Amino acid sequence: MDTIFALATANGKAGVAVVRVSGPDAFSAAEALAGDIPAPRRAALRKLRDPSGAVLDEALVLCFASGASFTGEPVVEFHLHGSVAILRSVLRVLADLPGFRMADPGEFTRRALDHDRLDLTQVEALADLIEAETESQRVLAMTVFSGALGRMVEDWRAELIAAASLLEVTIDFADEEVPVDVSDDVRAGLLRVRADLDRQLSGMSAAERIRSGFEVAIVGRPNVGKSSLLNALAGRDAAITSEHAGTTRDVIEVRMEIAGLPVTLLDTAGLREAEDPVERLGIARARDRADTADLRVFLLAEGDEPELEVRPGDLIRQSKADLSGDPQAISSLTGQGIEQLLTDLGTTLSERVQRSSLATRERHRVAFLEGRDCLDAALRLLDLGPERYDVASEEVRVAIRRLEALIGRVDVENLLDHIFASFCLGK
């Protein structure tokens, strides 16, 4: 296996830049540049030199022995001053060393997977952790990256292996009298795993919203103050406001964080009967986005009723409190009620993610569904008696393989290139 290297920090000028080297000859990179190999896991200050002896930089050099590094291989990190010229010189020296090459995107993490330092769910969580923009995204990604989903799958796997083993004992002694009926124990084990799968599947929608974000649509009649409310919530002029009705013709989106959750606010066209074909198109889009939004804020003028059916969790507010004097209304001009609206939005959305799943991706959902289907088949076969235990056992083993694929044990080679393509070079 080649020894690979790459810049592990962002490109461009910075206070510090880290170059990571991993592979069988990683320690020779420390010798070539720093003159010796610092003790593992003890950062040492060294002058880095090129083959001619010219000093390139004074840097911290940190070595990790095989089995004690992120990739599981010998690893050396050079913590350099973040000069573009220094980086270029150090990378050039590394590229000239025999058996060294620039890492491909995600190759460090792929080697961690190959050396069993991470399972496939942790690899995906690492990508999510790097992309996390909100506290809830960080917490969810960190939980999965710590191995929580992998441990859950391992527990299921152990339970199913025990169930399959009980069935196979019965099969092995089919011509003899088996002293114990194992069907109740097997059924109990299968039902426990199936219930866990159901809980994870039911929480996937919330987990996916944490990962990708909620959509909150502001809806109401024209000139009721929707764009002004969007600007007030976003804290900037994201939408054009005017006293003329029908100013908003398309859906305006603003990404923000509410209660630690990623939220996209949608300012939609005013809902009314319109003759202008462009406005009619905007109103149609407004209705479509409002229908698919996770939550709607209905903004009403005094005496108005919601134009759409109010769903559980939707919020209703009367607008322009600065004109009406209503203490329960909101005003984008004075700020009255805005903080409370944000609090109510945060509370409502937080309640929806309290029972979120650890699984966030489509392939997780498919693996759970396929595993559950196999368990359902096994439970039906179990009810038909010992003569069908052999088929029931095979259904349990198929369920095990579906769950093993989730953490990367089997049948995932076709997924790896796609997963690692999203990683940067230094990961």
Give the closest residue to 405 by CA, choosing from 394, 395, 416. Answer: 416
Q: Is 105 helix (H, G, I), strand (E, B) or coil?
A: coil
Q: Is 187 annotated as a binding residue?
A: no
Taking each helix axis as running N to C, give the angle between helix 135-145 and helix 148-172, from 0 to 180 degrees, rounded to the nearest 10.
Answer: 40
Q: Is 364 annotated as a binding residue?
A: no
Q: How far apart are CA 253 and CA 239, in angstroms?
A: 9
Q: Is 227 annotated as a binding residue?
A: yes
Q: Lay out the sheet containing 3-7: strands in order across.
A: 44-49, 55-64, 75-82, 14-22, 3-7, 100-102
Q: Is 228 annotated as a binding residue?
A: yes
Q: Is 117 annotated as a binding residue?
A: yes
Q: Which stretch of DSSP H or E encloses residue 82?
A: strand 75-82
Q: Is 208 annotated as a binding residue?
A: no
Beta bridge partners of 172: none
Q: What torsion do the CA atoms of 189, 190, 192, 195 make, to the nearest 10 degrees? A: 180
Q: How far apart are CA 69 and CA 76, in angstroms?
A: 9
Q: Is 247 annotated as a binding residue?
A: yes
Q: Is 303 annotated as a binding residue?
A: no
Q: Is 347 annotated as a binding residue?
A: no
Q: Is 77 annotated as a binding residue?
A: yes
Q: Is 332 annotated as a binding residue?
A: no
Q: Is 292 helix (H, G, I), strand (E, B) or coil?
A: helix
Sorted by sequence, the CB contacts under 8 Å of residue 248 that are 6+ apart come out as: 226, 227, 239, 240, 267, 268, 269, 270, 282
Q: Is 13 annotated as a binding residue?
A: no
Q: Is 246 annotated as a binding residue?
A: yes
Summarize the annotated binding site for (6S)-5-formyl-5,6,7,8-tetrahydrofolate as residue ranges: 20, 77, 117, 427
Summarize the annotated binding site for Mg(2+) as residue ranges: 227, 248
Summarize the annotated binding site as residue ranges: 20, 77, 117, 223-228, 242-248, 267-270, 427
Summarize the annotated binding site for GTP as residue ranges: 223-228, 242-248, 267-270
